[in-house]
Amino acid sequence: MRFDTRLVHVGQRPVPGTGDVVPPIHLATTYDRTAQDPPRYFYARGEQPNREALEECLAALEDARHATVYTSGQAAATTALSLVPPGRLVLASDDVYGGTHQLLAAAAERGVTVRPVDFADPAERDRALSECGPELAMVWLETPTNPLLKVADIAAVSDLAHRHGALVVVDNTLAGPVLQRPLAHGADITLYSTTKSVAGHLDVLGGALVYQDEELHRRFLAYRTVAGNAPGGFDCYLTHRGLKTLSLRTARQVENTRAVVAALLAEPSVATVSYPGLPTHPQHAVAARQMTAPGALAAFEYRGDPAKLLDRVRLFTAAVSLGGVRSLIECPALMTHRPVPPEVRRRLGLTDRLIRISPGIEDAADLVEDLVTALRDGA
């Protein structure tokens, strides 16, 4: 099956006996062992039918053997970082989601060495990876990054990291599996906050890890059962339902983002625009090579007051998150990246006037009108 067919069919087989074309939602937390031949389900923290169906579909989207899903993207990230023991080194993208920044700081507190690297800069990337020895355990890539939308060459990073025997984890939340499949470029683990574009409707939390390795699968299942961060049947059902329209939603969101970016470029109140689809983007060529489209997020430097801009928009909702059917707008310094120390934000170039937008599936003309009107009212 090709990608779009997998979205609809994998993990969604008609139910034997009744013929339901949509599998039922399993809400039970425990199972009668005597009613199973052979016994398969014991307790929902370990095994759960809706969870298994969702995992089967997510794995199939990247031609992977395995996927494990979690209560949130943060829970998935915590699980991946649990592979790194104290005393070992993690090289991590310098520009990451605010919650990831906090998780990496927590890893450092338990004795893991965490070193930020601008993987979008080939010279810095090569220098950082060449200087490592056997202490390197993991490379943590976010590409495109959140919120500066820097793009790293996954294949180049994976090749260099694997020479040290290190695992490569790629947070693919901003691109999603329609636009980018990290395992195909050499990564070991793809990370998703399925809360975002995978589920797509801003109504269910979730996270996922997708990978090939059998030993990783054993460790991830064991860790999840003990940690208790497995999502319930209803959340898995909602996420799996959202997946079916992922390609359709993504295409519309990319189209809307292109339209909004074109309008932003013409506005005097906008100082700069960052979008991998622009020829002026520093990593435009890399994005074109490893992504099927340049994404459905953009960022821009606003010359006015960001807080007032967030108050003026009407169709763009001032809220965190991204990738949903409804358009969102945020100022990272005031919202998602507020926990990041100001000196770190300044070093990265994440200014107090940076605005990030996540266009939804509304009419592009309405979105452009809403944002342009808000920009001009504040000029």
Distance CA 54, CA 240 (A): 6
- What would the DSSP string read from start to end of 61-102? HTT-SEEEEESSHHHHHHHHHTTSPTT-EEEEESS--HHHHH
Active site residue 150: no
Whether 97 is a known active-site residue: answer: yes
DSSP 141: E
The active-site residue out of 94, 95, 153, 171 is 171
Annotated catalytic, 45? yes
- Exactly one of 51, 181, 196, 252 is catalytic; name it: 196
- Look up residue 338 and give its two tokens: 């507020």
- Burial class of 232 by CB neighbour count within 10 A (0 to 12, 13 to 18, 19+): middle
Tokens representing 354 are 């940076």
From the list 31, 97, 192, 302, the catalytic residue is 97
244 is catalytic: no
Residue from 45, 88, 219, 326 carrying the catalytic annotation: 45
Amino acid at 241: R
**Rounded Cα distance, 248 and 201, in Å:** 13
Q: Which residues pair with 136 in a beta bridge?
A: 89
Task: Kindly tell me the number of DSSP H helices and DSSP E strands found in the chain.
Answer: 14, 12
Q: Write out the catalytic residue numbers.
A: 45, 97, 171, 196
